[in-house]
Structure 1
C-alpha cells in the first residue's frame, strides 16, 4: 500500500520526516496503528511506514480487508512470519505474539536504515510487545515511543506492575483487596488479565512482568484513550519517573474498510436490512476478530436471541472448546462442517429466526453496523477498539469479556463510564457460563427502561466529547501535535 498524499505539500512525501511504526500480530493493535499512521501523514506532515509482525504466513481476512483500505501516504508492510515450527502448536497466544515481534526486529532495522538514506527518520513507534525494537531507535539516534492500544487503566496497571510485584505476598488471584490505582476503578482479582492470574513462578507471569519492565525503556507513551472517558490519564501520571504519557484517542478505523468484490452484495443486503428496522431496535453481537465461545455457550446464546424476539445481527464464529481466543490469528476456531457452515447453531434456529435476525460468519462490517440508527445495543467482548467504536457511535453495550484485559475494560465501562452493563458469569450453570435467562435480562436492561435511558444519554455525551477530542483544537489532537513537534524538532536539529 502507499503512495503520495493527495495534498499540495511543497516538498515530496519522501523528504518529510519519517516515522516507522511496528505492530505485533494483533488485529486489535493494527487497526488503531493504521489510524495513527493516517493521522501522522494527513494532519501532522509526516511520512509513515507501518510494519506488521505477522505470526502466520497467510494473512487473515481482517488483515487483507484493512490492508486494502490503507490510505495513500501510509506504507503497510506485512513482515515475514517466523518459521512455523519455531514454537510448539500449544504455545499460548501472548508468547506467540512476543516471539513474532522479536523476530521482526532485524526487518525493522533494515527498513529504518533504508529510509534514513532518503529522508530524516523522526521516531520509531512500537506496541507493548515490540518494545525490544527500541534498540534499533537507539542505534539510529531517534526517539522510541510506545503506542498503547488499550485503555489508560491497563497502562497504569502495566506501569505499576513492578512495584506491585515487589510488594505482593502470595498470588494475585487470592488477593481479597482490590488493586487501587490513581483515578481508576478498583481492580478486583477476578478482573485481572489471565497472565496475572497465573502462578507468579510461572513463565506466563514472568513474561508479562518482563514486558512491563521493558515499557520503562521507551521515551514516551501514546495511549488510545481520551480524557473525558479516563480523566486520570496525563503526562507523567504513569508511575514511572519522567515518563510522558499522551492521550491521543479514540483512534479507530475512520475509513470504509474494503469488503472485497465477493463481499459487496452481502454488505449491501445487510445495510438494506438495517434500513428496514426501527430506530434503536437491533441487537448487534460480535466478539471481535479473535473471540470464540464454546459449543454449549453458542447454543445458549442462540436460544437467548430467539427468546428476546428482537431483530439481531450476530457476527458468529465456529465454537472452540479450549480457549476464548481461538480465532486470534484469523482462524475460525474449527469444529464446523463445510457443507453446513452454520451447523454449529441449534437445529432450526436459522429457520425460526429468518427475517428477524441475521447470522454472519466471522467477518462483519462493524463500523457500518454500529453507525446505523437501527442499532440500539452492542453485545461485545469489550476489546478496546470495539468499545471505542461503540462510544463514537453512541451505542450502549452489553459487556461480555472473554480474555486479556477485557474484564477490566468491562468494569471501567460499567462502573466509571456508565455506558455498559456486564453479564453475570457466576450463575447456577457454572462459573464463566452465561445462561439464556441472564442474556435475555441484560439485553432488556440495555434496550428498555430507566437504566437504558440513562445509558443512552451517557454514551451520547461521551460520543460528543470523543468527537471533540479529535478536532483541531481537541485535547487528543493537541497531544499528538505536541509529540510530533518533538519528533520534527529532533530531525531539524540533526540537520544543523
Structure 2
C-alpha cells in the first residue's frame, strides 16, 4: 500500500501467535494515537496452517485503524510443525524462520513504493532485523514480555556457563541484576531442557537480542520494573556497555471492545453481582488443564463459596498449551468433562463459559474482585491496569517467571500451590488461596498494592508519562532523522 510523501512508513514483522500479534499491533495503534496521520504501518504476519480465524481474532483485525495494513503470508507446512509434540516456542520459531524469504520479498517491495523508515520485529522473529540492515533503516525488536524476562535473555549465555545442571534441578535461587532471585524451575520453558532444540533456538534468539541494531522496545513501564530497567541501562550502549538501548513503552494492552457484541452474556451476569465479589478465572488464549486438574479446580471453586466467572473453558488435555494456535478444542457442552452435578450445584454461584470472554471489559467491571490467571504477560498488564489482584497459576512459556515477579517482587498476587508429585493443585489448596485473596488480611494488602500499581500504569501512558515520552521520542526520531544521521 503506497503512502503519501509526508507519511513515515513503519514495517512490523509479527509471528503466528495471536497474543503476540495483539501486543505489537496495539503498540502500533498507540504510535498512531500520538502521531495522528503522520505514520503508516504495515504489519507482516507469517501464519501456520493450524491457525484458526476465530471470530474474536477476525474482529480485532477488522477494527484496526485505516493506516495499519496487515499482510498475512502463506502458511508454511512441514512434518516438524505438524508434529503435535513440538512445543509452542519451536513451532513459532521454525515457522517464522521458514517465512523469512517471503518477509524479505515483502519488505523490499514496500521499500520500492514507500519511504520505509523503520523495521520492528517481534522478539520471536529477530532474524528479520537482517533485512533492516540490508535496507539501511532503523531496526528494533519488540519484546512483548517483562523486563525481567529480557534480563534472563541477556544473561542466558553466562547462566549457561555457570549453571551445570538443568535449571529446574538447581538447588538454590538464581540471581539476576536488578531483579528478585528466582528458582531455576521458574525460568521460561525454553530453558528447561538444555539438550533440546528449543533451548538451542532460545540461546540463538538471545544472542540476536544483544545485537539489535537500534534497540529493544519492551512492553513494560519504568515504574513497574525500575531496578531491572536500571540494571540493563547501566550496561547499555549509551554508557559504553554491551547491551543495546532498551525502551520501556508499556503497558501496551488491548484497547476498545474485544468482540462485536457490546454486552455479552458474561457482562450481563456480572452486572447483577455485588462490587468486588467475583473471581474471574481464565487460562488465556490457549491454556489447557488435565482432567484431574479441571475436577480439582471446579470443586475448589464450589467449596470456596465465592462467586466466580470461569471463561475460555477447554476440553481437558495433558499438554498445557494444547490449543495455543487454535480454538478448536472449545466445546458446546462442558457437562461431559466437569464433575457430575457441578453446574447445577453452582448455578447461583458462578457462570461457566466455553467461549471467549471480553477480558478487558471483564477486568474493568466493578464486580470483579480477583483474577485467577495463567500469568501471560498481556493478562498481567491488563490486571495491573485495572487494579485487580491475582492468583498466579502459570502453565507454560514464560508464565512461571511472570508468576514469580507478581507474587515475590510486586506482591500483587498469591500463587497456587501445586502438589509436585501429582502435578496438580488440589481443591483444598484452591479454596485456601481463593479465601486468602478474597477475604484475608494478606489479600487486603495485595489489593492496596495493586491499586498503587494501577495509578502508576495509567500515569506511564498519560501525556507526560514515562512510556508516552519514550514513544514520542522514538516517533520524532523516525520522522525527522534518516538512518545515515
| TM-score bracket, shorter-length normalisation | over 0.9
- Does the 8 A contact of 2:221 with 2:460 survive in 1? yes
Superposed, 1:43-58 pairs within 5 Å as 43-44=34-35, 45-56=38-49, 58=51
Matched position secondary structure for 1:236 = helix
Out of 79, 83, 88, the position equivalent to 2:77 is 83
Matched with 1:440 is 431
- Does the 8 A contact of 1:292 with 1:323 survive in 2? yes
Matched position secondary structure for 2:141 = strand
> Aligned partners of 2:392, 2:219: CA distance in 1, in Å?
19
Distance of aligned partners of 1:57 and 1:292 in 2 relative to their CA distance in 1, 3 Å threshold: closer
Out of 216, 232, 236, the position equivalent to 2:233 is 236
Out of 184, 194, 214, the position equivalent to 2:189 is 194
Q: Compare 71-80 and 129-138 and name the one that shifted more.
A: 71-80
Out of 291, 295, 311, the position equivalent to 1:315 is 311
Out of 8, 15, 25, the position equivalent to 1:17 is 8
1:174 matched to 2:175: no
Matched with 2:394 is 401
- Deviation string, structure 1 residues 295-326 (Cα, Å, up to 9, x no partner): 11001111111112222111143334331111
Shift in Å, 1:205? 1.6
- Deviation string, structure 1 residues 147-204 (Cα, Å, up to 9, x no partner): 1101000000001111221333233233223221111111211211222121x23322
Matched with 1:7 is none
Superposed, 1:375-390 pairs within 5 Å as 375-390=368-383
Superposed, 1:276-315 pairs within 5 Å as 276-315=272-311
> Aligned partners of 1:242, 1:155: CA distance in 2, in Å?
11
How many residues align structurally?
474
Shift in Å, 1:431? 4.4
Unaligned runs of at least 5 residues, structure 1: 4-11
- Does the 8 A contact of 2:43 with 2:71 survive in 1? yes
Q: Compare 356-365 and 107-116 and name the one that shifted more.
A: 107-116
> Aligned partners of 1:415, 1:251: CA distance in 2, in Å?
23
Distance of aligned partners of 1:464 and 1:30 in 2 relative to their CA distance in 1, 3 Å threshold: same
Matched with 1:31 is 22
Matched position secondary structure for 2:274 = coil
Distance of aligned partners of 1:216 and 1:493 in 2 relative to their CA distance in 1, 3 Å threshold: closer
- Does the 8 A contact of 1:40 with 1:48 survive in 2? no
- Deviation string, structure 1 residues 372-418 (Cα, Å, up to 9, x no partner): 00000100000000000001011100000111111111111011111
Distance of aligned partners of 1:75 and 1:349 in 2 relative to their CA distance in 1, 3 Å threshold: same
- Does the 8 A contact of 1:291 with 1:324 survive in 2? yes
Distance of aligned partners of 1:13 and 1:112 in 2 relative to their CA distance in 1, 3 Å threshold: same
> Aligned partners of 1:492, 1:176: CA distance in 2, in Å?
48
> Aligned partners of 1:398, 1:27: CA distance in 2, in Å?
24
> Could you list the runs of 4 or more consecutive aligned residues of structure 1 that deviate by over 4 angstroms after TM superposition?
237-240
Matched position secondary structure for 2:309 = strand
- Does the 8 A contact of 2:375 with 2:403 survive in 1? yes
> Aligned partners of 2:125, 2:145: CA distance in 1, in Å?
15
Scaled by the length of structure 1, what TM-score is found? 0.90
Distance of aligned partners of 1:303 and 1:57 in 2 relative to their CA distance in 1, 3 Å threshold: closer
> Aligned partners of 2:195, 2:365: CA distance in 1, in Å?
48
Q: Compare 344-353 and 437-446 and name the one that shifted more.
A: 344-353
> Aligned partners of 2:216, 2:415: CA distance in 1, in Å?
30
Matched with 1:275 is 271
Matched position secondary structure for 2:65 = coil
Shift in Å, 1:492? 8.0
Unaligned runs of at least 5 residues, structure 2: none
